[in-house]
Copies of this chain bind each other. A is one copy, B any other.
Amino acid sequence: MVEEYTRVGDKWYYLLHPRPVYIVASGRRDAKAGFMAASWLMPLSEEPPRIVAALEKTSHTTSLVLDTGAFTVNVYGIGDRDFVYTSGTISGRKHDKVSLLNVRLNYDTVTGAPRIVHPRPLGFIDSRVYRVVGDVADDVYLVIGDVVGAYADKALFNERYGWDLRKVRILMHAAGRAFTSNSGVFVARKLA
């Protein structure tokens, strides 16, 4: 193997960072809701509109996703990194994260899953679980969800180009406490 490269061990997945980090929220209106940070979540297909997430088997929020069959994916800006980081480091089994982090939820989604109102996300996706694959990893479920609705801040998003990257600073996770965000826009040209 070429000299300039170092072989990476346990932290091989850092090669695929940075990437957006989200808050996945789930639960029933009349029971304790759950939410957690998740960055291993991505679009799966346009036809039909689906997303896929690798969710820790032991997480409280994951059990709510499986129980209720619905969840929201909340997208944040760099300014909310403390909230997102903390959401990913304390357990909803041991703590009432909603009151501890002063979170407000709303259940006005199509699926009935809670979306986060405060701290206010840049946008969110409302998703219904389509399939859960449990036997592809020891530590996570691969959760595939139908996109039932997608909502973005009017001032920061348009359907042609997506996020206005000159205005918005999307929160991405690097490693541990380290987060990053997008820079401006670089337009590519076709070489051939």
Contacts and interface: CB of A to CB of B under 8 A. Distances in A.
Interface of A: 1-2, 4-20, 22, 40-52, 54, 73, 75, 78, 81-86, 89-90, 95, 100-101, 106, 108, 117, 123-125, 130-131, 133, 136-140, 142, 144, 147, 149-155, 157, 159-163, 165, 169-170, 172, 174-192
B165 A4 contact: no
B186 A162 contact: no
Number of copies of chain A assembled together: 2
Contacts of A7: 149-151
A42 B125 CA distance: 19
Contacts of A162: 11, 14-15, 17, 174-175
